[in-house]
A and B are shown apart, each in its own frame.
Chain A
Amino acid sequence: MAGVSSSAPTPLAKYKLVFLGDQSVGKTSIITRFMYDKFDNNYQATIGIDFLSKTMYLEDRTVRLQLWDTAGQERFRSLIPSYIRDSSVAVVVYDVVNRASFINTTKWIEEVRNERGNDVILVLVGNKTDQTEKRQVSVEEGDAKAKEHDIMFIETSAKAGFNVKALFRKIAAALPGMENSAMARDTDLIDVKLNASASTNPTASQESSCGC
């Protein structure tokens, strides 16, 4: 298992990332691609919640990410606020071939804002871009929604491995407290607070070819 030992004398900075979104949009797939660089067409539906943790080695620092993979199912919704609590990052995922899942991201974003206000990094993720011919949500629409809510945006394909690493790099770069962290030095990401114009950040597409 990753990240059991760390040579750093100071404890690892730990962050909680909660993944939200409708059923079958690919939350588990994105996480599994990130964790193990694997993809499977049929993951068992997440029941309630699933946890994974991973140490992420960045160029100048190391962070411990706790990934909270939630179920998209409706009878589980009442528990969602308690899972969002204390999260540093909320990743709201939709499926670009399922318009309803895109529309519902508004509710998920509100859910996060209600619980965390502006004290959280919010990322909107449009997944399944590999299914080009079935697309129901354009990249422009996704981008517009992210701007409207002043949050980050990226499109991914967990299946093709497209942009998944980029998503996590983007998140890592924006983590709160990073600028004050003992491990954070000469970061070139000065404006990364909690909103940022990251949705227009071109690095996403530049890094898109990694990891597949």
Chain B
Amino acid sequence: MRHAATFARWARGSGDWRAEARHWTPCALLRAAARLTDFSVRELARAAVRLGARADSRRRRARRASVFRRMEIEDELLQILLPADRVSGDLSDAQRDGNTPAEPFSLSPEERIDRLRKLVATHGLPHSANEMGTEKFGMCSLRGIVWKAFLGIGVIPVHNYMNLVAQGPSADAEKIGNDTIRTFIKNVDFTSRVSPDMLSRVLNAYCHARGNTKGTYVQSMSILCAPFLYLMPEPDAFESFSVFLECHVPEYVNNYRGVFSAFRLFEECLRVADRQLYDHFVGYQLKPELYAFSTISTLNACVPPMSDTVKLWDVQLAFGAYWGVIFTLARIVNSSALLLSSKEGPGAPLITRELEQGLGMNAEAVLKLSFELVQQFDAHLLQRLVKHAIQPPQPEDAGS
């Protein structure tokens, strides 16, 4: 079968696959992924029942209200994964299965991405999704492949990356070196997969690709690059990182304009989500600039472990970088009792480095609460959240 064969070649990164790979869609990958992992349809159905109502933030209320809608989601997920569960042979068997309603291969790319989003939101990717260098997927991890789908990256122009690397150190090489030797250096899981040299090559290549003007690299950018290298080979990570910065968080990069907008939105969200904690912070004269700077500006990538970060990034790559703000919110609201019990007086920065390290991330708990919290925000707030990382602040946003 053409898709399966193309996919296999594409995944291994070999052969004359580039022309065909344009037709690749994540749905085919999902089938392959499901076969590889311990997904069981029944388990998935249970997960869908539990979480189905939260699948799509925009239409979440209607979904929650309707049991029928919930069943629809369940059906959709079953459709995506049923063939994989049933068929043990080649992927093509799934397509020949005439009993499968609404054959996914007949769907448009947009519909397939939509399904991928739903899967990520309702069930999450399998535990093995971070594995790189597998026989099935080749150099890139399954999670990396899914991320590239969300970023709209199909073909990786490897030569482009190689040429950029061949240009050697960029004008910002020293600053990059300063950061790369200390990016998650204590995190063995990370350093066993990503070396400072890999980070350095990708970041210098990024500067070269942007014209090699001094100041293209700004401190802490290495943290945003790290999750991609954790999951992908260098050329893929380079491409993904570039698209991510330019399309998903342009307002977060060269200046912190989007991050400043995020602080104001964060306060509004906190006021809705946890009024007591909001008042507590106000009483302490604490602003998100103080207690949430690192987490918001790095979309929570700065909080170890990386295995938790990538689960959060699944959702923010699928639905938008604004989820980073909601995750930060959920993490802080989850620690509300601890923060409220502080005995430090007003003016004290409550979230100290020690507390920050003690809180950890706990992606599962953060995701669960995030899906609940987001339902409390009104449309206007959500709309501004969605825009803040990708658009400059609009005049009508001010003071509202």
Contact = CB atoms under 8 A, between A and B. Distances in A.
Interface stretch (B48-56, B101-109, B129-137, B181-189): B181-189
Interface in A42-95: 42-45, 47-53, 66, 68-69, 71-76, 78-79, 82-83, 86
B353 A52 contact: yes
A84 to B, nearest CB: 13
A23 B354 contact: no
Interface of A: 1, 4, 11, 14, 16, 23-24, 42-45, 47-53, 66, 68-69, 71-76, 78-79, 82-83, 86
Contacts of A72: 219
A51 B202 CA distance: 31
A93 to B, nearest CB: 15
Interface footprint category on B: 35 or more
B223 A53 contact: no
A47 B178 contact: no
Given A14-B345, A14-B348, A66-B349, A44 B183 contact: yes
Overall SS of chain B's interface: loop
A24 B294 CA distance: 17
Interface of B: 175, 178-179, 181-186, 215, 218-220, 223, 254-256, 289-290, 293-294, 297-298, 302, 343-345, 347-349, 351-354, 356
A79 B179 CA distance: 21
A73 B253 CA distance: 13
Contacts of B348: 14, 53, 66
Nearest to A48: B293
A47 B218 contact: no
Contacts of B289: 48-49, 79, 82
Nearest to A47: B294
B131 to A, nearest CB: 26
Contacts of B220: 45, 47, 71, 73
B294 A51 contact: no
A1 B354 contact: yes
B303 to A, nearest CB: 10
Nearest to A11: B345
A33 B356 CA distance: 19
Contacts of A43: 182
Contacts of B182: 42-45
